[in-house]
Structure 1
Amino acid sequence: MNRERKSLLYYCNHVSLVVLSLLCLIPVLIVIAASLSTENRLVSEGFALWPRGLTLEAYTFAFQQADTMLRAYGVTVFITLFGTFTSLLISSLFAYAISRRDFAYRNSFSFIIFFTMLFNGGLVPTYIVMTNVLHLKDTLWALIVPLLVSAWNILIMRTFFSQNPQAIIEAAKIEGAGEYRLFFQIIIPMSTPVLATIGIITVLGYWNDWFNALLYIDNRSLLPLQYLVYNMVANAQMMKELSNSAGASLVTAIPTKSLQMAVVMIVITPMTVIYLYFKRYFVRGLTIGALKG
Structure 2
Amino acid sequence: MKKGSISRAMMYTGITLYSALCLVPMLLVLMISITDEDTILKNGYSLFPEKFSLYAYKVIFTGGTQVLQSYLISIFVTVVGTLLAIVVTAMAGYTLANKSVKYRNAMALYFFITMIFSAGIVPWYLINRSLGLTDNILALIIPSLLFSPFNLFLVRNFMNGVPDSLRESATIDGANDITIAFRIFLPLCKPVLATIALFYGLDYWNNWWNAIMLIDNKDLYPLQFMLLQLKSEISMINEMTMMAGASDVTTPTESVKMATAIVTIGPIIFLYPYLQKYFVKGLVIGSVKG
Q: Deviations over 1:17-64 (max 9, x none)?
A: 222222211110100101111111111111111343122111111100
Q: Deviations over 1:196-254 (max 9, x none)?
A: 000000000000111221111111111111111011011112112212332447823x3
Per the TM alignment, residue 286 of structure 1 is displaced from its structure 2 partner at its CA by: 2.1
Paired-residue identity, % = 35
Per the TM alignment, residue 290 of structure 1 is displaced from its structure 2 partner at its CA by: 6.6
Aligned CA distance change for structure 1 residues 202 and 47 (closer, same or farther; 3 Å): same
Per the TM alignment, residue 8 of structure 1 is displaced from its structure 2 partner at its CA by: 4.4
1:145 and 2:142 matched: yes
Aligned CA distance change for structure 1 residues 230 and 52 (closer, same or farther; 3 Å): farther
- 1:172 corresponding residue in structure 2: 170
1:59 and 1:249 mapped to 2: Cα distance? 23
Matched residue type, 2:263: I
Name which of 236, 261, 266 aligns with 1:264. Answer: 261
* Partner-residue secondary structure (3-state), 2:285: coil
What RMSD, in angstroms, separates the aligned Cα atoms of the two structures? 2.0
1:52 and 1:70 mapped to 2: Cα distance? 31
1:220 and 1:284 mapped to 2: Cα distance? 41
- Give the TM-score normalised by structure 2: 0.92
Aligned CA distance change for structure 1 residues 290 and 142 (closer, same or farther; 3 Å): closer
- 1:118 corresponding residue in structure 2: 116
1:202 and 2:200 matched: yes
Q: Deviations over 1:126-177 (max 9, x none)?
A: 112122x223122222222232121111111000111112222222222222
- 1:38 corresponding residue in structure 2: 36
Aligned CA distance change for structure 1 residues 61 and 290 (closer, same or farther; 3 Å): closer
- Give the TM-score normalised by structure 1: 0.92
* Partner-residue secondary structure (3-state), 1:251: coil
* Partner-residue secondary structure (3-state), 1:136: coil
- 2:53 corresponding residue in structure 1: 55
2:160 and 2:113 mapped to 1: Cα distance? 20
Name which of 224, 227, 246 aligns with 2:225. Answer: 227
After superposing on structure 2, the runs of 4+ consecutive aligned residues of structure 1 that deviate more than 6 Å are none
Name which of 69, 82, 86 aligns with 2:80. Answer: 82
Residues 95 and 157, structure 1, Cα contact 8 Å, conserved in 2: yes
2:124 and 2:208 mapped to 1: Cα distance? 16
